Structure 1
Amino acid sequence: MPLIPPGRYQYILWDWNGTLLDDAALCVEIMDQLLRRYGKPGLTPERYQRIFDFPVRDYYQALGFDFSRTPFEQVGTEFMVEYNRRWRTCRIRPHAQTVLRRFQEQSIPQSILSAASVTLVQQGLQHFDLESFFDDIHGLDHHYAEGKLAQAQAFLSRCTAAPESVLLIGDTTHDHQVARAVGMDCVLIHAGHHALERLQACGVPLCTTLQDLIA
């Protein structure tokens, strides 16, 4: 039985990074290089999955950055400069287009809800030819990834669908926290940004591939 039964939801919100764009390995690699540049221990995928979180400012502190010496805006921008240079080397997650098309054929509107900048997500959708699947992008106007609760609340204030008829598909505990805070349902994919144990603790449906959503 598919995780998303036909007719259950009137609107679907997708997270971008990790959920549709398979970029966890790139994020680990860039941060590992940044840490070593500042004379700090490197980063493994396992440690990344244990400590990555939103707002990412807290994640940087968990990595050992002292903002009294090196401002968050400085190291955060250094990370994003390299990320912006290299994200096109990533791939869209397997089955993404198939699943997006299935929901589109079922006349379920879809949008992006992201803690990334709207501009960056727009570039990604254009690059991977996914624009036609989405009505809108609800994201930030900067690259410091504070979170997306305010964006979810703003979306619901304009959406005609009731919160309980909206599904958020994401890959972090933050997605679950946002969905729970505004009354939406949530499905999580184990995609590399958070450890499986962290996702399981949320107590919501969990998949390992996007195909699980419709298969």
Structure 2
Amino acid sequence: MRPQRFDLIAFDWDGTLFDSTALITRSIQNAAVDLGLPRPSDAAASYVIGMALYPALAHAVPELPPERYQEMGLRYRHHYLGAQHEISLFDGTLEMLAALKDRHHWLTVATGKNRRGLDEALRLAALQQMFDGSRTADETAGKPNPQMLLELMREFGAEPERTLMIGDTTHDLQMAVNAGCACVGVSYGAHDHESFAEFNPLFVAHSTAELRDWLLQHA
């Protein structure tokens, strides 16, 4: 049975499926302080969520010299990994994914995490078998470059018009536009949903329940 509108659905991970926005923001801030640099504001630290780690750190902490990117990356991972057991999937996420799986969509993840980080997150959430494919920032180009989506579409033989990207940041939605795909935004993650308008999302969900209902009716 072919899905109604979209064969391939790509989800961002942090802030879309996984309630990790506050921890990522705090980990970036604490890593900067560890290195004796100014503490980024909440807005600056949360804006870069979804980007590959080193470009994100460079943007959030402009005072950071390139030769210290690796050092700050290690401090970021120290803070994030030390507390990741405290965070979890957004309520209703597992049920939403299972319902989409029953409708024969290909479910994938397109994330700014690295492969090690995504695999660990999938293990913690017991979702290793839920997704048909995934791409991480260290395997291909980071968002908003469309390469992640282009590779996933090629892997599954999906056309852009039958591919949907779902994310909580402008980086996610810009990637979808760059790949020629439709997009849906969620307002409960890192970016202000009012900034989504220029990307013409099909829908903006304010909860996982709203996202699930829209997908089951329109995807």
Alignment TM-score > 0.5, same fold: yes
Find out whether 1:82 has 2:87 as its counterpart. no
Paired letter, 2:96: V
Shift of 1:172: 1.0
- How far is the alpha carbon of 1:21 from its aligned partner? 1.0
Shifted more, 126-135 versus 160-169: the winner is: 126-135
Matched, 1:99 2:60: no
Structure of greater relative contact order (alpha carbons < 8 Å, 6+ residues apart): 1
Q: Deviations over 1:134-177 (max 9, x none)?
A: 112222447xx943632222222222221110111111111111
Q: Does 1:157 align with 2:154?
A: yes
Q: Write the distance in 1 (CA, Å) between the matches of 2:142 and 2:69.
A: 12
Supply the distance in 1 between the matched residues of 2:150 and 2:210 (Cα, whole angstroms). 28
Deviation at 1:88, TM superposition (A): 2.1
**CA 1:85–1:184 in structure 2 vs 1: closer, same or farther (change >3 Å)?**
same
User: Alpha-carbon deviations, 1:173-202, whole Å to 9, x = none?
Assistant: 111111111111111112332223323443
Q: 1:126 to 1:165 in 2, by over 3 A?
A: same
Q: Distance in 2 between matches of 1:117 and 1:40?
A: 24
Q: Distance in 1 between matches of 2:46 and 2:79?
A: 20
CA distance 1:100–1:53, change in 2 (3 Å): closer
User: Structure 1 CA distance, aligned partners of 2:198 and 2:48?
Assistant: 15
CA deviations over 1:51-86 (Å, ceiling 9, x no partner): 656355444334233315x52122122212322232
For 2:36 and 2:120, the matched residues in 1 are separated by 33
The answer on whether the counterparts of 2:107 and 2:131 sit within 8 Å (CA) in structure 1 is yes
The answer to whether 1:11 aligns with 2:45 is no
Residue equivalent to 1:3: none
Determine what percentage of the aligned residue pairs are the same residue: 20
Aligned to 2:194: 197
Supply the distance in 1 between the matched residues of 2:157 and 2:189 (Cα, whole angstroms). Answer: 33
1:28 aligned residue (2, 8, 25): 25
What letter matches 2:32 in structure 1? L
Matches of 2:51 and 2:150, distance apart in 1: 17
SS at match of 2:113: strand
The 1:46–1:158 alpha-carbon spacing in structure 2 relative to 1, beyond 3 Å, is closer
Residues 73 and 119 (structure 1), Cα distance of their counterparts in 2 relative to 1, 3 Å cut: same
Matches within 5 A, 1:124-135: 124-135=121-132
Structure 1 ranges of 4+ moved more than 6 A: none
Letter in 2 for 1:28: T
Among 167, 173, 176, the alignment partner of 1:179 is 176
Q: Helix, strand or coil for the counterpart of 1:133?
A: coil
- Residue by residue over 1:14-36, the C-alpha shift from the partner in whole angstroms, topping out at 9 and shown as x without a partner, is 11111111111101211222222
- Counterpart of 2:217 in structure 1 is none
Gaps of 5+ in 2: 214-219
Equivalent AA in structure 1 for residue 113 of structure 2: A
Q: Distance in 1 between matches of 2:8 and 2:78?
A: 34
Residue number among 25, 33, 38 corresponding to 2:35 in the alignment? 38
Moved more, 133-142 or 158-167: 133-142
Q: Secondary structure at the match of 1:214?
A: helix
